[in-house]
Amino acid sequence: MPQHPFAITLDVGSSLANQTGSWRNERPIYVDRLPPCNNACPAGENIQGWLFHAETGDYETAWRVLTQDNPLPACMGRVCYHPCESKCNRADVDSAVGINSVERFLGDQAIKNGWKFEAPKKESGKRVLVVGAGPSGLSAAYHLRRLGHKVVLQDAGPKPGGMMRFGIPKYRLPREVLDAEVQRILDMGVELKLNAKVDNIQETMKAGKFDAAFLAVGAHIGKRAYIPAGEAAKIVDAVSVLRSMEGEEKPLLGRKVVVYGGGNTALDVARTAKRLGASESIIVYRRTRAKMPAHDFEVEEALEEGVTMRWLSTIKRMDEGNITIEKMELDKTGFPQPTGVFETLEADSVVLALGQDVDLSLLNGVPGLTIKDGVVEVGPNMMTGASGIFAGGDMVPSERTVTVAVGHGKKAARHIDAWLNGKTYVPSEKHDVATFDKLNAWYYTDAPGTVRPVLDTVRRQSTFDEVVSGLDETNALYEARRCLSCGNCFECDNCYGVCPDNAVIKLGPGNRFKFNYDYCKGCGVCAEECPCGAIAMVPEEI
């Protein structure tokens, strides 16, 4: 025994000998929760994941993470109705993060800097036919190619893009943006065949020795309604009008244009008519604004541009230079009923925007298919009743948006890949959603959202210039940094700092943290003070 001073009998030791972890009845664990934006994205984007890189200014990595799910960010950043933003937790702090505008910024950066997709590392030797070069077909082609399959993308039209080109007006999606993003997919080695309508899918597959097919032909046939009309009456459908905008001959609609319908297509046509020089562009819709299927911000933009609306009205007949409309009123169930009150409106033409049907003729003679309400039924794996034939986009039961279509393409590609390998694709289990109550919002500074500048109203009435312009570098960074990183550690060091027992080990940039359970007493301060809800307390097994 060493010599000790008077009255001292023991050597001095460190408290590290005292493993206070044994006090614990609950233990903290690091978790990744599903951010509500990711959960809401029909294309399954890892939004929080790419914003994490964008907020450091590393836009290329951000774009690469984004394009693991969606190959068309510049298009999507313009035309997506961003259900992600509707679910954003930041809305409970100030206003939702402008995810859509940052996505567009990243997409535009990629085009500007010429970022390319990598070619697959290994060829599978399988051939897949993709019918339809719209968003769904392009997405499927991209994902199938990434998985190493040989892809032939075949389209009936003269140019790729589908409804993104022949349905969405230029002022919402400039064609050079679309062209650039399509070209980048083709550069991966996807073969594109244009003006090549598939008349019989089974024959085409046989002739091209395809192992599987993904059908995404879209819904290009405008629905008609019977309207009694005089001889000189001009009644056209919205899809044809929008399609002919892409040709040499612009549609002749006259000075006074009436659009019949209340969806986004109706608005697209009414705004297009205004730009073609119509002095009056009137939307006639049988229900109220609140019941309109169109998105409210588009209604707002149309109204600002001088489009007028006739709610609760149906068109009874058309004669030369005018139409007769009947006033409607909503019954108790919210359904419009005729009132017998008529009115005459001047009109040079009527454009019907009453929805679209799918041309399913290529499926004639294919056994095992189920067709219901004019669309093809598919299983959870996106396969139709016919083995090896998958389908997605507007031709299957869905909400018909570009984003849903891109999501279908990705999902189908994964199932096709598994099917080609004789396996079943099992998606990884979803984490619990990081709802607002899981966050500690105290740690987030108040920062209202950036609103994208809207083109001067007068200018956009007469031109097809893009209506909503993008963010620049400084405000894109600002916007990205507004992300709360819900449910996913962003290395803020809070747990490391607030542990009274020094029982959190910091592993350095990019490596997050770990708990030292030898000393963690399970007080739960770390979980309580984690801003983004990335720590859970679980009962200790005793």
Partner 1 sequence: MNDAVKEMEPTQKLKFYQKGTFTVGNRLVSEADRTVQASIERSNAITCGHRACQGCGEALGARYVVDAAMRATNNNLIVVNATGCLEVFTTPYPETSWQVAWVHSLFGNAAAVATGVAAAMRVKSRSEVRVLAQGGDGGTTDIGFGCLSGMFERNDDVLYVCYDNEGYMNTGVQRSSATPPAARTATTDAVGDEPGNVFGTGKNVPKIAMAHGIPYVATASVADLHDLERKVTKAMSIHGARYIHVQVPCPLGWGSASHDTIRLARLAVESGVFPVFEAEYGVITGRRKIRNRVPVVEYLKLQKRYAHLFKNGDAPRLERLQKMADRNIAEFDLLSHEGNV
Contacts with partner 1 by CB under 8 A lie at 10-20, 23, 55-56, 442-445, 447, 478, 481-485, 490-494, 496-503, 506, 508-509, 516, 518-519, 521-525, 527-529, 531, 537
CB of 469 to partner 1, least distance (A): 23
Instruction: Give the C-alpha separation, 313 to 419, whole Å.
Output: 50
CB of 160 to partner 1, least distance (A): 39
In the beta sheet, which residues pair with residue 483?
none
Contacts of 362 (CB under 8 A, 6+ apart): 131, 197, 198, 199, 200, 201, 215, 217
Angle at 184 between CA 178 and CA 186, to 5 degrees: 100
**Tokens found for residue 540:** 């200790």
Closest CA to 353 of 244, 265, 281: 265
The conformation of residue 468, written as its DSSP 8-state character, comes to B
Closest CB to partner 1 among 4 and 206?
A: 4
Going 168 to 174 to 180 to 181, the CA torsion angle's sign is negative
Closest CB to partner 1 among 19 and 361?
A: 19
Q: How far is CA 62 from the centre of its chain?
A: 17
In angstroms, the Cα distances linking 425 to 38, 332, 378 are 20, 47, 16
Closest CA to 455 of 228, 170, 87, 261: 170
Closest CB to partner 1 among 114 and 510?
A: 510
φ and ψ at residue 319, rounded to 5 degrees: -125, 180
φ and ψ at residue 327, rounded to 5 degrees: -70, 145
Closest CB to partner 1 among 289 and 506?
A: 506
CB of 484 to partner 1, least distance (A): 7
CB of 468 to partner 1, least distance (A): 23
Per-residue three-class SS string for 123-153: CCCCEEEEECCCHHHHHHHHHHHHCCCEEEE
If DSSP codes are grouped into helix, strand and coil, which group holds residue 74? helix
CB of 1 to partner 1, least distance (A): 13
- Angle in degrees, 0-180, between the axes of helices 473-481 and 47-54, rounded to the nearest 10: 130
In the beta sheet, which residues pair with residue 30?
535
Q: How far is CA 187 from the centre of its chain?
A: 23
CB of 498 to partner 1, least distance (A): 6
CB of 109 to partner 1, least distance (A): 19
Closest CA to 215 of 175, 162, 173: 162
CB of 530 to partner 1, least distance (A): 10
CB of 431 to partner 1, least distance (A): 20
Closest CB to partner 1 among 390 and 519?
A: 519
Closest CB to partner 1 among 210 and 519?
A: 519
CB of 55 to partner 1, least distance (A): 7
Q: Do 331 and 346 form a contact (C-beta atoms < 8 A)?
A: no
Closest CB to partner 1 among 7 and 232?
A: 7
- Angle in degrees, 0-180, between the axes of helices 59-66 and 99-113, rounded to the nearest 10: 110
Whole-number CA gyration radius for the chain: 29
**In this structure, which amino acid lies at residue 313?**
S
CB of 38 to partner 1, least distance (A): 17
CB-CB neighbours of 455 under 10 Å: 17
